[in-house]
C-alpha cells in the first residue's frame, strides 16, 4: 500500500510540475512578446508599463485571496482555472485590432493582462500547495528536495520563456505566436484528467480577518520584501529591455537571450544559495543579521551601475557586469527571505502568513513596474537605477527591526524558494 501511495504521489507531482512548467514558459514568453512588440511599434515606456499594470494589480489580489479560494474549491480547480485563464488571455490578445485608437488598444491589452495576472498566481499557489499535499507530513527532507526541483526549474524556464517570446516574435509575428502558445497550453489541460479530485479542499471556513497577518515579524519581513522586489522591477521590467533595444540597438534575439540567461542564472544561484551560506557561514540557519548583510550589500550594486553610466563607461559592459552582480546578491537575499518567512511562522498559520507575505511581494512588483516606465520616460535608465538604490536602502533599514527567529521555530535550512 505504501509503495502504491508513493507511486501515486510521484505521478501527481510530475503532472503538477509539467503543468507549471508549461505555464511558466508562456508567462515569460508573453511578457517579452508584449514588451518588445509594443516598443517596436512606437509605444512610450510609460504606455508599455501601463500594459502590465492590471497584471500586477490582479496578481496582488489573487495572492491575497488565492489560499482561501484553493481551500474552498480545491487546488485542482484553481490550477486548471489558472491554465484556462492564460489561454483566454492569449486568445484575447490575438484579437487586438491594429486599427483601434491607441488608448483603446492600451486598455484592451491591460484587461487581457489582468486575466494573465490572475492565472499566474492561481497556478503558482495551486502548484506550491499541491506539492505539500503529495509529500507525507513526516518527510520534510523530501518536501524541500521536491520544492527545490520545482522552483529551480521554474526560474530556468522563466528565462527560457523570455528567449522563446523573442524568437517567436521574430519568426512568426505577434498574433501567430499567441496562437501557438494557446494551443500548447490547451494540450496541457488534459493532465487534469489524471489528478485526484478535491486536492487541498477543506470543510472548515476561514474568516476574512484571518487573511491579514498579525505577526510583527511577518509584517516587517513583508515590508522589506515589498521594497526588495520593487528595487529589481523598477529597472528590470521596462527600463532595461527598452534601453537595450532602443539605445544600444540590440536585436529581439539579443534582448530576449540576455534576459533569459540572467533569469536562468539567477534561478541557479537562488537554488544553491542555502547550501553556499551554510557551507561558508557558521553552519547555522540564517539570522536577522544575515538578511541585513545581504540587503545592505545589494544597495551598492544599482548605485554603482548608475555611477558607471554617468561616468561614460561603456554602457554594455557596465550593464552586463552590473546585472551579473545584482543577480547574485539579489538571489541570496531572496533565499534568506524565503527561509525567514517560514522560521517566523507558526505551523497552523503557514498558509495565511505566506499568502500575506507574497502579496507584499506582488505589491513591490506592481510599484516597480509602474515606476520603471514612469521614471525611464523622464530620467532614463540611470534614474531607474537610483530609484532602485533608494528602494533597496529602504528594505535594509526595515530589516534592522527584525529579531532573530526563536530556536523552536527554526526549520531545516536545505533549499530556498524560487521566487
Using the predicted structure, report yes or no on whether residue 418 has a pLDDT greater than 50: no
Task: Compute the average pLDDT of residues 73-92.
Answer: 88
Amino acid 383: pLDDT: 96
Using the predicted structure, report yes or no on whether residue 27 has a pLDDT greater than 60: yes
Residue 200 located in a structural domain: no
Using the predicted structure, report yes or no on whether residue 151 has a pLDDT greater than 70: no
- Which comes out higher in pLDDT, residue 210 or 291? 291
My answer on whether 114 and 227 are in the same domain is no
Amino acid 417: pLDDT: 42
Residue 273 located in a structural domain: yes
pTM of the full structure: 0.75
Give the Cα separation of 79 and 120 in Å (integer): 10
Task: Compute the average pLDDT of residues 256-277.
Answer: 80
Using the predicted structure, report yes or no on whether residue 213 has a pLDDT greater than 70: no
Residue 282 located in a structural domain: yes
My answer on whether 126 and 6 are in the same domain is yes
Amino acid 147: pLDDT: 54
DSSP designation for 192: G
Amino acid 403: pLDDT: 85
Task: Compute the average pLDDT of residues 358-369.
Answer: 86
Using the predicted structure, report yes or no on whether residue 9 has a pLDDT greater than 80: no
Using the predicted structure, report yes or no on whether residue 154 has a pLDDT greater than 90: no
My answer on whether 319 and 376 are in the same domain is yes
Amino acid 282: pLDDT: 55
Q: Bin 42: left if φ > 0, else alpha if -120 < ψ < 50, else beta.
A: left
pLDDT band at 342 (very low <50, low <70, confident <90, very high): low
Give the Cα separation of 401 and 292 in Å (integer): 10
Most confident range, picked from 280-294, 340-354, 373-387: 373-387
Using the predicted structure, report yes or no on whether residue 85 has a pLDDT greater than 90: yes
Question: How far, in Å, are 173, 276, 338, 416 from residue 332 at the CA level?
Answer: 37, 9, 10, 9
Task: Compute the average pLDDT of residues 256-285.
Answer: 75
Using the predicted structure, report yes or no on whether residue 138 has a pLDDT greater than 50: no
Amino acid 144: pLDDT: 44
Amino acid 352: pLDDT: 61
Using the predicted structure, report yes or no on whether residue 142 has a pLDDT greater than 90: no
Using the predicted structure, report yes or no on whether residue 333 has a pLDDT greater than 90: no
Of the residues 193, 226, 261, the one at which a domain ends: 193
Longest Cα–Cα distance of the chain, Å, equals 68
Task: Compute the average pLDDT of residues 312-334.
Answer: 90
- Which comes out higher in pLDDT, residue 326 or 191? 326
My answer on whether 180 and 227 are in the same domain is no
Of the residues 150, 168, 193, the one at which a domain ends: 193
Amino acid 410: pLDDT: 47
My answer on whether 95 and 168 are in the same domain is yes
Residue 316 located in a structural domain: yes
Give the Cα separation of 24 and 159 in Å (integer): 9
CB within 8 Å of 407: residues ≥ 6 apart: none
My answer on whether 67 and 159 are in the same domain is yes
My answer on whether 80 and 29 are in the same domain is yes
State what percent of residues in the chain have pLDDT above 90. Answer: 32
State what percent of residues in the chain have pLDDT above 70. Answer: 75
Using the predicted structure, report yes or no on whether residue 398 has a pLDDT greater than 90: yes
pLDDT band at 414 (very low <50, low <70, confident <90, very high): very low
DSSP designation for 246: I
Of the residues 138, 168, 193, the one at which a domain ends: 193
Amino acid 419: pLDDT: 39
Residue 218 located in a structural domain: yes
My answer on whether 251 and 399 are in the same domain is yes
Q: Show the cell assigned to 15.
A: 503532472
Residue 328 located in a structural domain: yes
Between CA 277 and CA 372, with CA 296 as vertex, the angle to 5 degrees is 110
Q: Show the cell assigned to 127.
A: 502548484
Structural domain for 144, as ranges = 1-193
- Total Cβ atoms within 10 A of residue 238: 31
Residue 198 located in a structural domain: no
My answer on whether 287 and 247 are in the same domain is yes
pLDDT band at 61 (very low <50, low <70, confident <90, very high): confident
My answer on whether 245 and 186 are in the same domain is no
pLDDT band at 305 (very low <50, low <70, confident <90, very high): very high
pLDDT band at 345 (very low <50, low <70, confident <90, very high): low
Number of domains into which the chain is organized: 2
Task: Compute the average pLDDT of residues 171-197.
Answer: 87
My answer on whether 185 and 245 are in the same domain is no
Average pLDDT, the chain: 80
Residue 5 located in a structural domain: yes
My answer on whether 143 and 245 are in the same domain is no
CATH number of 74's domain: 1.20.1250.20
Amino acid 416: pLDDT: 41
Using the predicted structure, report yes or no on whether residue 14 has a pLDDT greater than 80: no
Amino acid at each position: 500500500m505504501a509503495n502504491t501511495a508513493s507511486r501515486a504521489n510521484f505521478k501527481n507531482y510530475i503532472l503538477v510540475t509539467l503543468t507549471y512548467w508549461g505555464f511558466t514558459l508562456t508567462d515569460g514568453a508573453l511578457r517579452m512578446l508584449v514588451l518588445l512588440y509594443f516598443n517596436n511599434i512606437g509605444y512610450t515606456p510609460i504606455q508599455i508599463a501601463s500594459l502590465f499594470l492590471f497584471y500586477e494589480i490582479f496578481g496582488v489580489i489573487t495572492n491575497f485571496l488565492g489560499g482561501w479560494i484553493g481551500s474552498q474549491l480545491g487546488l485542482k480547480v484553481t490550477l486548471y482555472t489558472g491554465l484556462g485563464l492564460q489561454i483566454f488571455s492569449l486568445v484575447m490578445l490575438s484579437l487586438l485590432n491594429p486599427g483601434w485608437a491607441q488608448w483603446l488598444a492600451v486598455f484592451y491589452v491591460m484587461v487581457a493582462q489582468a486575466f494573465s495576472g490572475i492565472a499566474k498566481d492561481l497556478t503558482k499557489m495551486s502548484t506550491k500547495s499541491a506539492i505539500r499535499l503529495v509529500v507525507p507530513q513526516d518527510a520534510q527532507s523530501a518536501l524541500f528536495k521536491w520544492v527545490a526541483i520545482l522552483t529551480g526549474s521554474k526560474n530556468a524556464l522563466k528565462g527560457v520563456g523570455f528567449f522563446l517570446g523573442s524568437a517567436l516574435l521574430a519568426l512568426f509575428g505577434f498574433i501567430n505566436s499567441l496562437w501557438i502558445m494557446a494551443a500548447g497550453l490547451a494540450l496541457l489541460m488534459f493532465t487534469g484528467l489524471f489528478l485526484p479530485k478535491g486536492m487541498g479542499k477543506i470543510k472548515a471556513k476561514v474568516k476574512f480577518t484571518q487573511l491579514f497577518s498579525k505577526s510583527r515579524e511577518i509584517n516587517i519581513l513583508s515590508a522589506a520584501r515589498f521594497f526588495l522586489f520593487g528595487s529589481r522591477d523598477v529597472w528590470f521590467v521596462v527600463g532595461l529591455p527598452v534601453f537595450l533595444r532602443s539605445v544600444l540597438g540590440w536585436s529581439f534575439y539579443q534582448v530576449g537571450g540576455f534576459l533569459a540567461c540572467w533569469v536562468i542564472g539567477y534561478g541557479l544561484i537562488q537554488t544553491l544559495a542555502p547550501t553556499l551560506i551554510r557551507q561558508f557561514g557558521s553552519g547555522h540557519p540564517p539570522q536577522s543579521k544575515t538578511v541585513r548583510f545581504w540587503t545592505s550589500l545589494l544597495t551598492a550594486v544599482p548605485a554603482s551601475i548608475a555611477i558607471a553610466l554617468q561616468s561614460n563607461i561603456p554602457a554594455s559592459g557596465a550593464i552586463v557586469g552590473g546585472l551579473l552582480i545584482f543577480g547574485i546578491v539579489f538571489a541570496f537575499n531572496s533565499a534568506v527571505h524565503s527561509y525567514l518567512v517560514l522560521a517566523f511562522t507558526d505551523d497552523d498559520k503557514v498558509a495565511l502568513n505566506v499568502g500575506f507575505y507574497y502579496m507584499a511581494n506582488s505589491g513591490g512588483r506592481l510599484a516597480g513596474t509602474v515606476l520603471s516606465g514612469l521614471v525611464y520616460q523622464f530620467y532614463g535608465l540611470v534614474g531607474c537605477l537610483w530609484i532602485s538604490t533608494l528602494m533597496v536602502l529602504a528594505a535594509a533599514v526595515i530589516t534592522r527591526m527584525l529579531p532573530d527567529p526563536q530556536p523552536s521555530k527554526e526549520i531545516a535550512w536545505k533549499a530556498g524558494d524560487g521566487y
